[in-house]
Amino acid sequence: MRTLHDADVHEEVGNDQDNQFNRVGLGAVITGEENVEVMDTDSVLKDTQENFCLENFKKMLSDKILDVILLFRSRQNVPYSATVEFVSYMKSFTDVLVGELRSLLRDSLSDNITSALNSISTIFSSFRSEHCIRKLYEDHPQFISPQSLPLGARIENEMTSQGVIKTISRPNVAQYIPISKTLKSLLLNDPLFLSMIIESYNQQRESGIYRKFQDGSKYKSLRFQWDGKNILVFIQLYADGMGLTNPLASAATEHNSTMFYFLVNNLDPKFYGSLSNIHLVAMCNSADLKYDEGLNILLEAIVDDLLRLETDGFEINIPSRGTFQVKAVLSQFTGDNLALNQIFGLTESFAHDYFCPLCYCTREESQKYFKEKHFRCRTPESYKLDVETLLLLREDGQLHIREVKKFCILNRLKFFNIMDNWINDCMHTCLQGIIPYVCGLVLKTLISQKILDIDQINDEISKKFSRLKIDKKNKPGLIKNNGKEGLSFKMSAAQLWAFLRYFPLSFANRIPVDNQYWHLIISLSEIIDIVMAPKLSESMLCYFEVIYASFLLQFKRLYPAASLRPKMHFLVHLPTIVRKNGPMRTFWTMNFERLNGKIKAPSHIINSFRNPQLTLVFRRQCATFNKTLCLKDSVCVNSTIESYISDFLNVDMISSFFDSSAEEIVSLTDSIKINGVNYIVGLFVIVEKSDQGFNFGKI
């Protein structure tokens, strides 16, 4: 069945005459054209021999081997040495094959066949060593090599082989990929990317509806008008830390790294889930950013690149589409609260007054007031005043003013100011913050009231998830009772979210209807639904403001001794955040965290930890390069079988849908992944929306 929300994308591919690549798939049914003609073999052979071009043949062979190497290199669990061994094996294999063919054809060897066999024998020499393979990448015009960016040096003690401790200065180096280079490569090499950017300018926007960045006031303030030749790209930057080694091992934090990525806000949010739409900007050891020098050098490099992009930009020429002048602006900077505070030059503690990066609330005020209107919000002007005051008081030993520690270099950008960056990550704030905190307290109460017990909760949740299909892989872990410390939820963000979605469904019939603690969980469930919604209306934001204030009030009433966590305060800003930037889900860090997991996966097969950042960034760039060449990232099909359309019961419907005849062949699959979403036979999807509600269809 062709799924609805992806139909537009594939139609676009089909209509794009410039698309020189084969992109796989159309939902679960894939059309294919099979124009089989019976041909005379002798004439084909003659024709082939006459038209044989040795250079093309060599290139074709070389490209095929490169494809396999790229595929190996993009796999997270294959060491690089395996690629070289594979090439060596293939060389031996073809040597035997070519030798046999030479002796079989010795009486009828034409010049073309001799040249072809010689080419097959020698083609592997270009791939014979790791050095040769790397050179092929680095010399390819579409491969973007990471640059080494020195971030200063750190002093370390090292023991020599004679057992003497020596103090050495070790250079700090970040692996850096300029945004401008990646952007240029995408626009030049991916026709679909360019089409989607241009299409985004022509999309109609509904007043009072927030679905993406372009619906928010920040986009409107840029006043961009599409004129057919000037392209403006909106960059969403992300930064966060990532552990590379087992957290329980010794020196577990030694290789902790900070990752910088970007994605393009022009794309529809449904594409954000596809990891190939997230591009690496920098990776470095987190310890190198703890000092101002290292952080400033890295931010300077990013800001200089963005300044060039927002002022001069660059020109691209697409043969069939003309010349475009491309500029880009930093539209959003996202990340978890701690990482953002570090980069923005704010204090990295939330235990003080003015802990909120969006307003000037004190700890005390955050426990008493539950609506944004009760707080004075931070602005670029008030920030400027804070920085100026700090400069005056610095000599007296003042380290920060209202949590501002220093001027942030990002404010040098013309269209970006950290105090205008109204971003909060709902994954860290809600899924890993508010849900375990509130659920922990409420469950503890329900257990003490003897309404539920912990084994019963774990059993019921386990049974419920074993019957599920979509959320099966998000099955929550066991909840443990740690006595005085309360209940512990050692679960991932996705598991915590799944827990909250299914917990009320599983236990509603066992809880007295007037239990106020239970109502708190139900309210939380509704609040999280709104926070995570992919689309919000103005009226829904007004409603949220009311129910969230009432939720916090009720929480304080039921748990007067428990304080409201800083993360609970952050959500009072949700309506303004959405009005400025679109739904929180369009800039949550979940997708970036998924990419972190993918990037660090090879660290388990890397024997040397001398410079893991260089190894991992190079690997990621190889994977990106592979996808740029093949463009098969947004659709993944597990396995397919082929069938004639005429073999189906509803031939007419399928033929007319695909505009194909009944004699054409289609490929069938029972599962397909499109932009990170799995569609499996037997599941239900929304196929139509009407005034009466939604119409569902079964795949």
User: What does the binding site for Zn ion look like in residue numbers (CB under 5 A)?
Assistant: 356, 358-359, 361
Query: Toward Zn ion, which CB reaches closer, 220 or 371?
Result: 371
Separation of alpha carbons 367 and 539, rounded Å? 26
Shortest spacing between CB 226 and Zn ion, in angstroms: 36
Q: 244-254 b/e with 16+ CB inside 10 Å = b?
A: bbeeeeeeeee
Residue 141, helix vs strand vs coil: coil
Separation of alpha carbons 106 and 113, rounded Å? 10
Separation of alpha carbons 424 and 427, rounded Å? 9
Query: Toward Zn ion, which CB reaches closer, 13 or 361?
Result: 361
Residue 443, helix vs strand vs coil: helix
The letter for the amino acid at 279 is H
Residue nearest to Zn ion (CB): 356
Query: Toward Zn ion, which CB reaches closer, 421 or 495?
Result: 421
DSSP β-bridge partners for residue 686: 696
Q: Quick check: 49 and 601 in contact, CB under 8 A?
A: no
Shortest spacing between CB 688 and Zn ion, in angstroms: 41
Query: Toward Zn ion, which CB reaches closer, 352 or 394?
Result: 352
Separation of alpha carbons 18 and 302, rounded Å? 33
Query: Toward Zn ion, which CB reaches closer, 172 or 334?
Result: 334
Query: Toward Zn ion, which CB reaches closer, 26 or 358?
Result: 358
Shortest spacing between CB 630 and Zn ion, in angstroms: 46
Shortest spacing between CB 368 and Zn ion, in angstroms: 13
Phi, then psi, of 641 in degrees rounded to 5: -125, 150
Residue 673, helix vs strand vs coil: strand
In this structure, what DSSP letter does residue 377 have? B
Structure tokens at 558: 């039921």
Q: Quick check: 352 and 366 in contact, CB under 8 A?
A: no
Shortest spacing between CB 566 and Zn ion, in angstroms: 9
Structure tokens at 424: 């909060």
Shortest spacing between CB 610 and Zn ion, in angstroms: 44
Shortest spacing between CB 442 and Zn ion, in angstroms: 25
Query: Toward Zn ion, which CB reaches closer, 260 or 333?
Result: 333
Separation of alpha carbons 379 and 419, rounded Å? 5
Give, for 469, the enclosing helix (H) or strand (E).
none
Query: Toward Zn ion, which CB reaches closer, 339 or 361?
Result: 361
Query: Toward Zn ion, which CB reaches closer, 193 or 375?
Result: 375
Q: Quick check: 233 and 183 in contact, CB under 8 A?
A: yes
Shortest spacing between CB 361 and Zn ion, in angstroms: 5
Shortest spacing between CB 574 and Zn ion, in angstroms: 11
Relative to beta strand 671-674, strand 635-637 is antiparallel
